[in-house]
Structure 1
Amino acid sequence: MHTMKRKQVLKTLLAGLVVSPVRAAAPATDFQQEFQKAWKRSRDYTLTIFNQMPEEHLNFKPTPEMFSFRMQFVHSMIYTTAQLASRLNVKDPYETAQGWNQRSKADVAAELGRFYDWVQQTVATQTPAQLSKMQEFVGEELTGPQLFYALENHIIHHRGQGIVYLRLKGITPEGYFGW
């Protein structure tokens, strides 16, 4: 049986107290760096898919109850910012935005870029404490990083719908960019 001297025990405990906060902060920073890279890829692919649809088909819907191609992307922006704003106590840039069906393709594409910038900035400004706070989402408790990825998954779903709409219009979508 190995016994530690009192001095060794105190050093070990003190080291744990000093290192623990640093270790607790590291996952948030790692997440923020990882997410920024993944988010840029998501942005690039989303804009590529959106820009493939000719402007005259932005309001195309396969069936009456479905979102139009345009609204697949608008819904992604509005839903994501509303979810983040309500949970992270930040201003929702689309809280009062209207008239999406009258906006040009170039305007919606520019807005998609601003949306991605807003989320990127929102992630970057979160503290480790904010990111570690549990958030209720669709009946589950998620950490900040899990919430951001759940919302990105929602965007992926709607982008996938957009890909189907392109195919229905005879347009071959650009291949997936990957991570």
Structure 2
Amino acid sequence: MKISRKNALKSLFGAMISLPALGKVKDKDKKDLLGFKEEFSVAWKSSLDYTLKIFNQMPEDKFEYKYTPESFTYRTQFVHCITFTTAQICGRLNLPNPYDEKEKQNGYWKNLSKAQLETELKDFYAWVEKTVLETKPDKLAQLEGYAGDKIPVWRLFYALENHIIHHRGQAICYLRLNGITPIGYIGW
């Protein structure tokens, strides 16, 4: 693909003009980010509710079920959601990871009962919501690398929730493979 000098200069000039706008969060944007916090909080509570309903449909004696040797177990679908999401948020917001100490214990996640893992899920969801609510608008607007692109931190929270949706969908397949009809979808 050839690019003309004229188009190259237009692109360069456009980028230079937009740079100052990326540097500061305007008052209007701060207000919009407060709207994000409210919206995300509602969606996040719904996500927790649906996640727990799917999680609790599998009997505890099937928590180590996996459909192929290389696939996650049913338990690991949920543990991965907790550990991956937390690591992504902590790494980008420079926060201490609340699971670092637990993960140092050999077999921590595997040794949890269904009830204990449910408590971890609830605590994880509470931690993410608290983190969103306490993160300052300037930080939420900060661009971070994600999937080969740069996105604002507030969008990262939605991307991570999408990742949870993916694994929850996997868990639904595990239920079906064990003859369990999953609860119907619960939307926002």
Cα-Cα RMSD: 1.1
TM, length-normalised to structure 1: 0.87
Deviation at residue 24 of structure 1 after TM alignment: 2.3
Question: Which of these two proteins has the greater Rg computed from alpha carbons?
Answer: 1
Distance, in Å, in 2 between the alignment partners of 1:161 and 1:97 is 25
Structure 2 segments unaligned to the other structure (5+ residues): 1-24
Structure 1 segments unaligned to the other structure (5+ residues): 1-19
Is it true that 1:163 corresponds to 2:168 in the alignment? no
Identity of aligned residues (%): 50
Residue 104 of structure 1: aligned partner: 113
Deviation at residue 138 of structure 1 after TM alignment: 1.8
TM, length-normalised to structure 2: 0.83
Of residues 148, 152, 160 in structure 2, which corresponds to 1:151? 160
After TM superposition, what 4+ stretches of structure 1 lie above 3 angstroms from structure 2?
none
Q: Number of aligned residue pairs: give it.
A: 160
Q: Deviations over 1:30-50 (max 9, x none)?
A: 100000000000000001100
**3-state SS of 2:182 partner:** coil
Is it true that 1:141 corresponds to 2:150 in the alignment? yes
Q: Deviations over 1:72-96 (max 9, x none)?
A: 0000100000000010011111123
Is it true that 1:93 corresponds to 2:98 in the alignment? yes
Distance, in Å, in 2 between the alignment partners of 1:33 and 1:74 is 26
**3-state SS of 1:101 partner:** coil
Q: Which amino acid aligns with 2:52?
A: L
Counterparts of residues 24-173 of structure 1 (less than 5 Å): 24-98=29-103, 99-173=108-182
